[in-house]
Protein backbone atom coordinates (compact mmCIF):
# COMPACT_ATOMS: atom_id res chain seq x y z
CA UNK A 1 0.00 0.00 0.00
CA UNK A 2 1.21 3.50 -0.79
CA UNK A 3 1.45 5.44 2.48
CA UNK A 4 1.91 8.97 1.16
CA UNK A 5 -1.02 11.24 2.08
CA UNK A 6 -2.72 8.54 4.15
CA UNK A 7 -4.41 9.87 7.30
CA UNK A 8 -3.14 8.14 10.44
CA UNK A 9 -4.10 8.32 14.11
CA UNK A 10 -1.68 6.97 16.73
CA UNK A 11 -2.72 6.60 20.37
CA UNK A 12 -0.09 6.98 23.06
CA UNK A 13 1.90 8.89 20.47
CA UNK A 14 3.83 11.27 22.70
CA UNK A 15 6.59 8.83 23.65
CA UNK A 16 8.06 5.36 23.25
CA UNK A 17 6.73 3.02 20.59
CA UNK A 18 3.84 5.30 19.69
CA UNK A 19 6.12 8.23 19.03
CA UNK A 20 8.43 6.07 16.91
CA UNK A 21 5.47 4.85 14.85
CA UNK A 22 4.23 8.41 14.35
CA UNK A 23 7.73 9.47 13.26
CA UNK A 24 8.01 6.60 10.78
CA UNK A 25 4.57 7.26 9.29
CA UNK A 26 5.32 10.96 8.97
CA UNK A 27 8.55 10.12 7.16
CA UNK A 28 6.49 8.06 4.71
CA UNK A 29 4.32 11.09 3.94
CA UNK A 30 1.34 10.26 6.12
CA UNK A 31 -0.78 12.97 7.73
CA UNK A 32 -0.37 11.92 11.35
CA UNK A 33 -2.33 12.84 14.46
CA UNK A 34 -1.09 11.68 17.87
CA UNK A 35 -3.13 11.49 21.05
CA UNK A 36 -2.47 10.94 24.75
CA UNK A 37 -3.61 12.25 28.12
CA UNK A 38 -0.69 14.63 28.89
CA UNK A 39 -1.01 17.84 26.93
CA UNK A 40 2.51 19.14 27.60
CA UNK A 41 4.26 15.98 26.40
CA UNK A 42 1.84 15.62 23.49
CA UNK A 43 2.33 19.16 22.22
CA UNK A 44 6.09 18.88 22.51
CA UNK A 45 6.20 15.59 20.60
CA UNK A 46 3.87 16.89 17.88
CA UNK A 47 6.08 19.93 17.30
CA UNK A 48 9.16 17.75 16.86
CA UNK A 49 7.37 15.21 14.65
CA UNK A 50 5.46 17.68 12.53
CA UNK A 51 2.24 15.94 13.54
CA UNK A 52 -1.16 17.15 14.71
CA UNK A 53 -2.30 16.36 18.24
CA UNK A 54 -5.46 15.83 20.27
CA UNK A 55 -5.54 15.40 24.05
CA UNK A 56 -7.71 12.51 25.17
CA UNK A 57 -8.06 9.39 27.29
CA UNK A 58 -8.63 6.32 25.11
CA UNK A 59 -10.59 4.67 27.91
CA UNK A 60 -13.22 7.43 27.95
CA UNK A 61 -15.95 7.05 25.37
CA UNK A 62 -16.53 10.76 24.88
CA UNK A 63 -12.80 11.31 24.25
CA UNK A 64 -12.53 8.56 21.65
CA UNK A 65 -15.62 9.76 19.79
CA UNK A 66 -14.28 13.32 19.78
CA UNK A 67 -10.77 12.26 18.72
CA UNK A 68 -11.79 10.14 15.75
CA UNK A 69 -14.48 12.54 14.58
CA UNK A 70 -12.02 15.46 14.79
CA UNK A 71 -9.53 13.70 12.54
CA UNK A 72 -12.23 12.79 10.02
CA UNK A 73 -13.65 16.32 10.03
CA UNK A 74 -10.19 17.78 9.47
CA UNK A 75 -9.05 15.43 6.72
CA UNK A 76 -12.26 13.98 5.31
CA UNK A 77 -11.24 10.42 6.12
CA UNK A 78 -9.20 8.12 8.35
CA UNK A 79 -6.95 5.49 6.79
CA UNK A 80 -4.81 4.10 9.61
CA UNK A 81 -5.49 3.59 13.32
CA UNK A 82 -2.63 2.49 15.57
CA UNK A 83 -3.90 1.35 18.97
CA UNK A 84 -0.69 1.80 20.92
CA UNK A 85 -1.66 3.39 24.27
CA UNK A 86 -1.07 1.03 27.17
CA UNK A 87 0.62 0.49 30.50
CA UNK A 88 1.29 -2.24 33.02
CA UNK A 89 1.07 -3.19 36.67
CA UNK A 90 3.21 -6.17 37.64
CA UNK A 91 2.32 -7.79 40.96
CA UNK A 92 1.58 -11.24 42.36
CA UNK A 93 -2.07 -12.25 42.16
CA UNK A 94 -2.58 -11.94 45.92
CA UNK A 95 -1.24 -8.38 45.92
CA UNK A 96 -3.18 -7.10 42.91
CA UNK A 97 -6.21 -5.00 43.78
CA UNK A 98 -9.43 -4.96 41.80
CA UNK A 99 -8.91 -1.23 41.19
CA UNK A 100 -5.48 -1.90 39.66
CA UNK A 101 -6.91 -4.55 37.37
CA UNK A 102 -9.68 -2.18 36.30
CA UNK A 103 -7.16 0.59 35.66
CA UNK A 104 -5.03 -1.55 33.33
CA UNK A 105 -8.12 -2.77 31.47
CA UNK A 106 -9.37 0.82 31.16
CA UNK A 107 -6.41 1.67 28.93
CA UNK A 108 -5.29 -1.66 27.46
CA UNK A 109 -8.68 -3.24 26.66
CA UNK A 110 -11.49 -0.68 26.77
CA UNK A 111 -9.31 1.93 25.04
CA UNK A 112 -8.55 -0.16 21.94
CA UNK A 113 -12.18 -1.31 21.82
CA UNK A 114 -13.52 2.25 21.80
CA UNK A 115 -10.96 3.54 19.32
CA UNK A 116 -11.45 0.53 17.03
CA UNK A 117 -15.23 0.88 17.11
CA UNK A 118 -15.14 4.55 16.15
CA UNK A 119 -12.52 4.03 13.45
CA UNK A 120 -14.31 0.98 12.05
CA UNK A 121 -17.45 2.99 11.43
CA UNK A 122 -15.49 5.18 9.03
CA UNK A 123 -13.50 2.30 7.56
CA UNK A 124 -16.72 0.49 6.64
CA UNK A 125 -18.12 3.60 4.95
CA UNK A 126 -14.88 4.02 2.99
CA UNK A 127 -14.54 0.30 2.26
CA UNK A 128 -10.92 0.57 3.31
CA UNK A 129 -8.77 0.98 6.40
CA UNK A 130 -5.77 -0.24 8.38
CA UNK A 131 -5.97 -1.14 12.08
CA UNK A 132 -2.76 -1.90 13.95
CA UNK A 133 -3.12 -3.13 17.54
CA UNK A 134 0.05 -3.07 19.65
CA UNK A 135 -0.01 -6.02 22.00
CA UNK A 136 2.98 -7.77 23.61
CA UNK A 137 4.68 -11.13 23.81
CA UNK A 138 3.05 -11.15 27.28
CA UNK A 139 -0.19 -11.77 25.40
CA UNK A 140 1.17 -15.01 23.96
CA UNK A 141 2.08 -16.77 27.19
CA UNK A 142 1.05 -16.09 30.78
CA UNK A 143 3.72 -15.61 33.41
CA UNK A 144 4.10 -14.85 37.10
CA UNK A 145 3.24 -11.34 38.22
CA UNK A 146 1.41 -10.43 35.02
CA UNK A 147 -2.22 -11.06 35.94
CA UNK A 148 -3.26 -7.52 35.01
CA UNK A 149 -0.96 -6.72 32.11
CA UNK A 150 -0.70 -10.16 30.53
CA UNK A 151 -4.42 -10.85 30.64
CA UNK A 152 -5.17 -7.43 29.13
CA UNK A 153 -2.99 -8.32 26.15
CA UNK A 154 -4.65 -11.72 25.83
CA UNK A 155 -7.97 -9.83 25.69
CA UNK A 156 -6.64 -7.49 23.01
CA UNK A 157 -5.48 -10.45 20.95
CA UNK A 158 -8.94 -12.00 21.19
CA UNK A 159 -10.68 -8.78 20.18
CA UNK A 160 -8.27 -8.38 17.28
CA UNK A 161 -9.20 -11.80 15.92
CA UNK A 162 -12.90 -10.91 16.12
CA UNK A 163 -12.40 -7.57 14.38
CA UNK A 164 -10.20 -9.13 11.70
CA UNK A 165 -12.89 -11.65 10.77
CA UNK A 166 -15.63 -9.03 10.88
CA UNK A 167 -13.91 -6.23 8.96
CA UNK A 168 -11.90 -7.96 6.25
CA UNK A 169 -15.05 -8.23 4.10
CA UNK A 170 -15.03 -4.42 4.10
CA UNK A 171 -11.42 -4.34 2.81
CA UNK A 172 -10.14 -3.45 6.26
CA UNK A 173 -6.88 -5.05 7.37
CA UNK A 174 -6.56 -5.69 11.11
CA UNK A 175 -3.09 -6.57 12.38
CA UNK A 176 -1.67 -7.45 15.78
CA UNK A 177 1.93 -6.65 16.74
CA UNK A 178 3.64 -8.38 19.67
CA UNK A 179 6.83 -6.56 20.68
CA UNK A 180 9.22 -8.25 23.06
CA UNK A 181 11.08 -6.07 25.58
CA UNK A 182 11.65 -2.58 24.17
CA UNK A 183 13.90 0.06 25.71
CA UNK A 184 11.34 2.74 26.65
CA UNK A 185 10.13 4.33 29.89
CA UNK A 186 7.42 1.65 30.16
CA UNK A 187 9.24 -0.42 32.80
CA UNK A 188 10.18 2.61 34.88
CA UNK A 189 6.57 3.76 35.01
CA UNK A 190 5.53 0.26 36.10
CA UNK A 191 8.19 0.23 38.83
CA UNK A 192 10.13 -2.63 37.23
CA UNK A 193 13.92 -2.63 37.27
CA UNK A 194 15.70 -3.76 34.12
CA UNK A 195 19.11 -3.55 32.57
CA UNK A 196 19.54 -0.92 29.88
CA UNK A 197 21.37 -2.44 26.93
CA UNK A 198 21.76 -1.78 23.22
CA UNK A 199 21.13 -5.46 22.60
CA UNK A 200 17.42 -5.13 23.33
CA UNK A 201 14.82 -3.63 21.02
CA UNK A 202 14.32 0.06 20.42
CA UNK A 203 11.00 1.66 19.40
CA UNK A 204 12.35 2.19 15.88
CA UNK A 205 12.47 -1.56 15.22
CA UNK A 206 8.76 -1.88 15.99
CA UNK A 207 7.94 1.13 13.84
CA UNK A 208 9.97 -0.19 10.91
CA UNK A 209 8.20 -3.55 11.09
CA UNK A 210 4.79 -1.87 11.08
CA UNK A 211 5.65 0.30 8.09
CA UNK A 212 6.79 -2.82 6.26
CA UNK A 213 3.51 -4.59 7.05
CA UNK A 214 1.47 -1.62 5.88
CA UNK A 215 3.36 -1.49 2.59
CA UNK A 216 2.22 -4.99 1.64
CA UNK A 217 -0.19 -4.64 -1.27
CA UNK A 218 -3.75 -4.25 0.03
CA UNK A 219 -4.89 -7.50 -1.59
CA UNK A 220 -3.08 -9.29 1.26
CA UNK A 221 -1.94 -8.61 4.81
CA UNK A 222 0.03 -9.94 7.77
CA UNK A 223 -2.52 -10.85 10.46
CA UNK A 224 -0.07 -11.01 13.38
CA UNK A 225 3.65 -10.84 14.00
CA UNK A 226 6.08 -10.68 16.91
CA UNK A 227 9.32 -8.74 17.11
CA UNK A 228 12.14 -10.13 19.25
CA UNK A 229 15.66 -8.90 19.87
CA UNK A 230 18.13 -11.13 18.02
CA UNK A 231 20.52 -11.62 20.95
CA UNK A 232 19.44 -9.75 24.11
CA UNK A 233 21.68 -11.82 26.41
- List, as one string, the DSSP characters of 55-86: E--TTSHHHHHHHHHHHHHHHS---EEEE---
How many H helices and E strands in the chain? 8, 7
For domain 7-227, give the CATH number.
Answer: 3.40.50.720
Residues paired with 160 in a beta bridge: none
Q: CB count, 10 Å around CB of 69?
A: 14
- At residue 18, φ and ψ (nearest 5 deg) are -60, -45
* pTM higher than the cut 0.75: yes
Catalytic residue among 90, 110, 149, 186: 149
Judge contact between 25 and 41, C-beta under 8 A.
no
Tell me, yes or no, if 87 is annotated catalytic. Answer: no
- d(Cα 213, Cα 224) in Å, to the nearest integer? 10
- pLDDT at position 192 is 63
- pLDDT at position 197 is 81
- pLDDT at position 118 is 98
With a cut of 70, list the residues of the chain below it in pLDDT: 185-194
- d(Cα 76, Cα 85) in Å, to the nearest integer? 24
- pLDDT at position 2 is 97
- pLDDT at position 3 is 98
- d(Cα 163, Cα 172) in Å, to the nearest integer? 9
Q: pLDDT tens, 12-22?
A: 999 999 999 99
- d(Cα 209, Cα 107) in Å, to the nearest integer? 24
Domain ranges of the chain: 7-227
- pLDDT at position 186 is 65
* HSE-CB for 145 with a 13 A CA cutoff: 7
Amino acid sequence: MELRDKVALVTGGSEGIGRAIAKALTAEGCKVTITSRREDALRSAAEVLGAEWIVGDVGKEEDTVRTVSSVVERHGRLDILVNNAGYGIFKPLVDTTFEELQSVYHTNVFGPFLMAREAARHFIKQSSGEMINISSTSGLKGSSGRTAYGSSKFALRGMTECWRDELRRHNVRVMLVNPSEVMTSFADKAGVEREVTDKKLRPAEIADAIVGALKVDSRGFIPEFSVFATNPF
